[in-house]
Chain A
Amino acid sequence: SQELEQSPQSLIVQEGKNLTINCTSSKTLYGLYWYKQKYGEGLIFLMMLQKGGEEKSHEKITAKLDEKKQQSSLHITASQPSHAGIYLCGAYSGAGSYQLTFGKGTKLSVIP
């Protein structure tokens, strides 16, 4: 079965600093989702990547998909306290699968 490993597990950054979160798959990636979750709350959709080399940006967050490396990265530029939370990557369990397998998350804290 597919496994997604996220690194780092937790991250503390000073406000204004850039940061990167990685998500590495044990198998070929067929679609990769990024979500943000605050403790005790639901998941907020950030981005979905489907093709190798694809890169998407929204406000100060950029996500890339490296299909060959079976990896995706999420980059936040000039972090703000509002970026704090748990970032989750999820990927389809296989070609044509409807199930998303999720990583265990990266907890981000931003110090003002």
Chain B
Amino acid sequence: NAGVMQNPRHLVRRRGQEARLRCSPMKGHSHVYWYRQLPEEGLKFMVYLQKENIIDESGMPKERFSAEFPKEGPSILRIQQVVRGDSAAYFCASSTAGYGNTIYFGEGSWLTVV
């Protein structure tokens, strides 16, 4: 079984451009989470989605960041007008259900803003 698939693995964007990160959850998983890992910092929760619904986005920056998980296709984390501080590793995770279920992480997408 394929695990959580993220692409691109590495992405370079100039300041002001847009970054789109994609995540395909494990087969049978309908719950998706996005986390961010900044240099020298721990993993921080960003958003939790189920198909077509955002359940908890309390960890998302108020501006420029958005996430979706459409009925068909992967989950997308979109960062508009990127700044150098957005440079980080973005991890997607998935589970079969919410609280108390095993959460599997993907390989991550490394965003570098130049």
A contact residues vs B (CB 8 Å cutoff): 31, 33, 35, 40-45, 48, 50, 88, 90, 92-93, 96-105
A96-B99, A98-B55, A98-B99 known; A41 vs B42 contact (CB < 8 Å): no
- Interface residues as binary, B56-97 with A (CB distance below 8 Å gives 1, 0 otherwise): 101100000000000000000000000000000001010000
Tell me whether A97 and B105 are in contact (CB under 8 A): no
Query: Is B17 part of the binding interface, using a Cβ–Cβ cutoff of 8 Å?
Result: no
Against A, the Cβ 8 Å flags (1 = close, 0 = not) of B28-48 are 000001010000011111001
Q: Which residues of A contact B59 (CB under 8 A)?
A: 99
What is the total number of residues of chain B having a CB less than 8 Å from a CB of chain A? 27
Q: Determine how close the nearest CB of chain B comes to the CB of A54; give it in whole angstroms.
A: 13
A108 to B41, CA, bound (A): 17
Given A50-B100, A92-B99, A98-B33, A42 and B45 contact (CB-CB distance below 8 Å): no
* A33–B93 CA distance with the chains assembled, in angstroms: 13
Once the chains bind, are A98 and B48 in contact (CB under 8 Å)? yes
Given the complex of chains A and B, what is the CA–CA distance between A97 and B55 in angstroms?
11
Q: What is the 8 Å Cβ interface bit string for chain B, positions 95-114, against chain A (1 contact, 0 not)?
A: 00011101111111010000
A-B contact pairs, 12 of them (CB 8 A): A42-B106, A42-B107, A43-B91, A44-B105, A50-B100, A88-B42, A96-B99, A99-B58, A102-B43, A102-B44, A103-B42, A104-B42
Smallest CB-CB A-B distances: 5 pairs:
A42-B107, A43-B105, A99-B45, A102-B43, A98-B48
Q: Which residues of B are at the interface with A, using a C-beta cutoff of 8 A?
A: 4, 6, 33, 35, 41-45, 48, 55-56, 58-59, 91, 93, 98-100, 102-108, 110
Interchain CA distance A45-B43 in the complex, whole Å = 15
CB distance from A45 to the nearest CB of B (A): 6
Q: Which residues of B contact A50 (CB under 8 A)?
A: 100
Shortest Cβ gap from B1 to chain A (Å)? 13
- Contacting residue for A33 out of B35, B45, B103, CB 8 A: B103
Taking A90-B43, A99-B48, A104-B42 as given, write out 9 further A-B residue pairs in contact, using a Cβ cutoff of 8 Å, ordered by the A residue number: A41-B107, A42-B91, A42-B108, A88-B42, A98-B56, A98-B99, A99-B58, A99-B59, A100-B45
